[in-house]
A and B are shown apart, each in its own frame.
Chain A
């Protein structure tokens, strides 16, 4: 570990702290339908959208109608993505003449992008046409991010409003989120990325004449490999920047290319890397401020932020330490950090980013439910790779996905005040609302569905040949690979221990099911709590009210998250990464 590495990490958290208030205050105005400086441009577009789609912008919905509208939008847009994938051969913007995507893969991908997971069982540069990337995949980056954000807003309204069953209009919230929150940053941000070298064109792939041809084993059409001289390099192109920016800002994480943000065309410089990381946390961090602002308890918003920042620092410290220490099994290599190299475990990492920025990006992308990667998690040291795994297992509530992080932590907040209430023997209250049996049951339902999905699918996969045959790294690492697949799917993260072969019938189907369960069985209980809270009266503060501001609350919240996560997943972790760590240090390979 180096001083410069720590400086970059510290600077990152500082910048996130700086953007929290402006982002949060702006989102408050957008969703309260207050005036903003963008209204002269965006308001006419907004009204045009309502006129074309038949939305009555004055009408508000109960939580059930809100949920139905959300499910209908997800269903219809998922179907459209499936259709685009299955017909891309006949559609425009396909200069490489890619065939239609196979049904199982197309379904898996559609589920994956609709649920903001963006798990990728395909290589973008050899499977998806430019139109599929733009109108199919990048579009869902916008749509699923907006859905996540508006749901968080509904939860906040549920806490803030009293004695009402109206929580807002799904179509209006989504439109405003798309136009005001997402679009302006994406227009400017994509140009920033292009200036760094992220490509943005619609050209066919470029053929390069190599200055030094080389011999390689090339697999022929008959499956046999033969020695050939490679004289050319074909460089994949595409409209990358416009997708890259929303991939981070909407915490989607689906790369244009297979290598995702490790690819020089997605993430060319350390500056673009820093910018992408800021985009990932900007909305989730800002939403904690929106929570404080809308519920009239700004200090509660910052207490939640502090709990998140603490868990973030714990994660990045572990990952950085483990990766900088390196791999003791690689004899004869110099892994010391110095002025002329970053050292450490460089397998799967890029030289321009080095150890500190790889460990930081990995922590950020799994704290949030982003899932973009700038280094290959499968090749991390056992403990370094455990950090992303644990981050997702905790429910991606460390800032978390756009919206998903906030409604995820809301579940833990409900549990935390419930536990505090039990300890002092009073009915728990949260910002003036009594937390009752129904609310706690719904919170537990959300927690249990996630756990159940992850552990059940993993358990089946480790005992059945169709599960284990996809393992590429034997030994305890194989368990980590399978566990990571379901943790990432259920948590709607989308990053992977990429060695696992995911494009099989079993994994395509079960990961898609896990993604849908993880998304909608999280959302529906949370909406139910929001609906229930909104109906309640506000109870005045008394001496016995448990304060949800300050260090005590933040500490209790962190403990609740860690205890729920640890009790659930510790056995699996000890057989996977922890065992592998001990064996690696004992010099054992598989």
Chain B
């Protein structure tokens, strides 16, 4: 008992140093050398300022931008409090929230059913993507606000649509922040 207690004390200390300090620091060093962009969050710079991360979503509310999904992270897309809504399927708060979003969207693009991802909150609250259907749904509004032809916008959307990984893993998706940044460059508001 006493012998094992002594071992337990030393063993905890030694392995904590090995696996809790040396290992993560070594991985940090390797990652910074091998994959510097990925290891630091794939930050996007514009005019010398950091305008976002390639894989973290942002809130867009102006009609000229493609909108991201609803978010429950803080006040919306707050990476210091990532979270889903955690609303259950029969919770009135969820059903009311979706109904109100559906009404707004129906007004801007009537007679088209609303792709479900556009009115549901993601698990992280930071989803950088929308489905191609949700992008297609927004093309008329964005084109109108920017004075562009729908087909012109559609070409930019295609460019930022990513197919499944290796053609079969995951789902096709459209990257909202990069799409909006490119629209700003091509045809500023």
Contact A341-B131, Cβ < 8 Å, known A80-B12, A332-B114, A475-B90? yes
Query: A221 in the interface, Cβ–Cβ < 8 Å?
Result: no
Contact with B along A487-504 (1 / 0, CB 8 A): 000000000011100000
- Give every chain B residue within 8 A of A382 (Cβ-Cβ): 89-90
Task: Check B41–A348 contact: CB distance below 8 A.
Answer: no
Residue among A7, A203, A378, A380 with max Cβ neighbours from chain B (10 Å): A378
Task: Check B131–A332 contact: CB distance below 8 A.
Answer: no
State in angstroms the CA–CA spacing of A218 and B133 once bound together: 32
> Can you list 16 A-B contacts (CB < 8 A)?
A11-B168, A55-B7, A76-B12, A186-B23, A205-B79, A242-B27, A330-B119, A333-B113, A342-B131, A346-B122, A351-B129, A374-B123, A477-B89, A499-B88, A580-B89, A589-B92
Query: A551 in the interface, Cβ–Cβ < 8 Å?
Result: no
State in angstroms the CA–CA spacing of A347 and B3 once bound together: 54
Output the nearest chain B residue to A481 by Cβ-Cβ distance. Answer: B88
Task: Check B20–A259 contact: CB distance below 8 A.
Answer: no
Query: A149-157, A296-304, A352-360: which lies at the B interface?
Result: A352-360
Q: How far is the CB of B132 from chain A (nearest CB, A)?
A: 4
Query: B138 in the interface, Cβ–Cβ < 8 Å?
Result: no
- Give every chain B residue within 8 A of A331 (Cβ-Cβ): 99, 102
User: Restricting to A315-365, which residues have a CB under 8 Å from any CB of B?
Assistant: 326-327, 329-335, 338-354, 357-358
Residue among B5, B53, B90, B103 with max Cβ neighbours from chain A (10 Å): B90
State in angstroms the CA–CA spacing of A268 and B53 once bound together: 12
Number of residues on chain B facing chain A (CB within 8 A):
112
Residue among A200, A242, A271 with max Cβ neighbours from chain B (10 Å): A200
Task: Check A258–B87 contact: CB distance below 8 A.
Answer: no
State in angstroms the CA–CA spacing of A243 and B164 once bound together: 26
Q: How far is the CB of A74 from chain B (nearest CB, A)?
A: 9
Q: How far is the CB of B40 from chain A (nearest CB, A)?
A: 5
State in angstroms the CA–CA spacing of A472 and B119 once bound together: 21
Contact with B along A550-590 (1 / 0, CB 8 A): 00000000000000000000000000000010011000111
Contact A347-B23, Cβ < 8 Å, known A75-B8, A209-B49? no
State in angstroms the CA–CA spacing of A583 and B92 once bound together: 13
User: Restricting to B32-68, which residues have a CB under 8 Å from any CB of A?
Assistant: 32, 34-35, 38-43, 46, 49-62, 65
Task: Check A4–B5 contact: CB distance below 8 A.
Answer: no
Query: A29-37, A188-196, A417-425: which lies at the B interface?
Result: A188-196
Task: Check B31–A135 contact: CB distance below 8 A.
Answer: no
Contact with B along A375-392 (1 / 0, CB 8 A): 110111110000000000
Contact with B along A106-149 (1 / 0, CB 8 A): 00000000000000000101100000001110110011000000
Query: B166 in the interface, Cβ–Cβ < 8 Å?
Result: yes
Task: Check A258–B122 contact: CB distance below 8 A.
Answer: no
Task: Check B80–A351 contact: CB distance below 8 A.
Answer: no
Output the nearest chain B residue to A590 by Cβ-Cβ distance. Answer: B90
Contact A198-B8, Cβ < 8 Å, known A125-B79, A214-B61, A333-B114? no
Q: Apart from A126-B80, A242-B28, list 5 A-B contacts with CB within 8 A.
A: A258-B83, A274-B169, A333-B116, A339-B132, A373-B123
- Give every chain A residue within 8 A of B82 (Cβ-Cβ): 123, 125, 236, 257-259, 262-263
Q: Which of A195, A205, A342, A345 contacts B38 (CB 8 A)?
A: A195
State in angstroms the CA–CA spacing of A213 and B97 once bound together: 23
Query: A227-235, A305-313, A533-541: which lies at the B interface?
Result: A227-235
Q: Which of B10, B102, B168 contacts A333 (CB 8 A)?
A: B102
- Give every chain B residue within 8 A of A473 (Cβ-Cβ): 86-88, 90-91
Q: How far is the CB of A552 from chain B (nearest CB, A)?
A: 37
Output the nearest chain B residue to A383 by Cβ-Cβ distance. Answer: B89
Task: Check A54–B10 contact: CB distance below 8 A.
Answer: yes
State in angstroms the CA–CA spacing of A400 and B107 once bound together: 49
- Give every chain A residue within 8 A of B103 (Cβ-Cβ): 332
User: Restricting to A19-61, which residues have a CB under 8 Å from any CB of B?
Assistant: 49, 52-55
Query: B147 in the interface, Cβ–Cβ < 8 Å?
Result: no
Q: Which of B55, B56, B170 contacts A354 (CB 8 A)?
A: B170
Task: Check A341–B117 contact: CB distance below 8 A.
Answer: yes
State in angstroms the CA–CA spacing of A136 and B15 once bound together: 11
Residue among B55, B79, B130 with max Cβ neighbours from chain A (10 Å): B79
Task: Check B58–A233 contact: CB distance below 8 A.
Answer: yes
- Give every chain B residue within 8 A of A143 (Cβ-Cβ): 15, 19
On A, residues with C-beta under 8 Å from B are 4, 7-8, 11, 49, 52-55, 65, 68-69, 72-73, 75-77, 80, 123, 125-126, 134-136, 138-139, 142-143, 171, 174, 178, 183, 186-187, 190-191, 194-203, 205-212, 214-218, 230, 233-237, 239, 241-243, 257-259, 262-265, 268-271, 273-274, 326-327, 329-335, 338-354, 357-358, 373-376, 378-382, 472-477, 480-481, 497-499, 580, 583-584, 588-590
Task: Check A347–B87 contact: CB distance below 8 A.
Answer: yes
User: Restricting to B130-189, which residues have a CB under 8 Å from any CB of A?
Assistant: 130-134, 136, 164-166, 168-173, 180-181, 184
Residue among A174, A183, A237, A342 with max Cβ neighbours from chain B (10 Å): A342
Task: Check A197–B55 contact: CB distance below 8 A.
Answer: yes
- Give every chain A residue within 8 A of B181 (Cβ-Cβ): 211
State in angstroms the CA–CA spacing of A552 and B80 once bound together: 53
- Give every chain B residue within 8 A of A342 (Cβ-Cβ): 117, 131, 171
State in angstroms the CA–CA spacing of A239 and B31 once bound together: 10
- Give every chain B residue within 8 A of A73 (Cβ-Cβ): 8, 11-12
Q: How far is the CB of A488 from chain B (nearest CB, A)?
A: 14
Task: Check B76–A262 contact: CB distance below 8 A.
Answer: no
Q: Which of A134, A211, A334, A380 contacts B51 (CB 8 A)?
A: A211
- Give every chain B residue within 8 A of A69 (Cβ-Cβ): 4, 7-8
- Give every chain A residue within 8 A of B80 (Cβ-Cβ): 125-126, 205, 234, 236
State in angstroms the CA–CA spacing of A472 and B85 once bound together: 11
Contact A138-B27, Cβ < 8 Å, known A334-B133, A348-B85? no
Contact A212-B61, Cβ < 8 Å, known A55-B7, A241-B31, A259-B82? yes
Q: How far is the CB of A102 from chain B (nearest CB, A)?
A: 18
Residue among A243, A326, A589 with max Cβ neighbours from chain B (10 Å): A589
Task: Check B86–A498 contact: CB distance below 8 A.
Answer: yes
Q: Which of A207, A265, A350 contacts B127 (CB 8 A)?
A: A350
State in angstroms the CA–CA spacing of A271 and B169 once bound together: 7
State in angstroms the CA–CA spacing of A218 and B73 once bound together: 12
Q: How far is the CB of B173 from chain A (nearest CB, A)?
A: 5
What 10 pairs between A and B have smallest CB-CB spacing?
A270-B170, A262-B123, A135-B20, A473-B88, A499-B86, A354-B171, A139-B20, A376-B84, A334-B113, A259-B82
State in angstroms the CA–CA spacing of A376 and B88 once bound together: 10
Output the nearest chain B residue to A126 by Cβ-Cβ distance. Answer: B80
State in angstroms the CA–CA spacing of A351 and B85 once bound together: 15
Contact A77-B12, Cβ < 8 Å, known A125-B79, A134-B21? yes
Q: Which of B7, B31, B180 contacts A194 (CB 8 A)?
A: B31
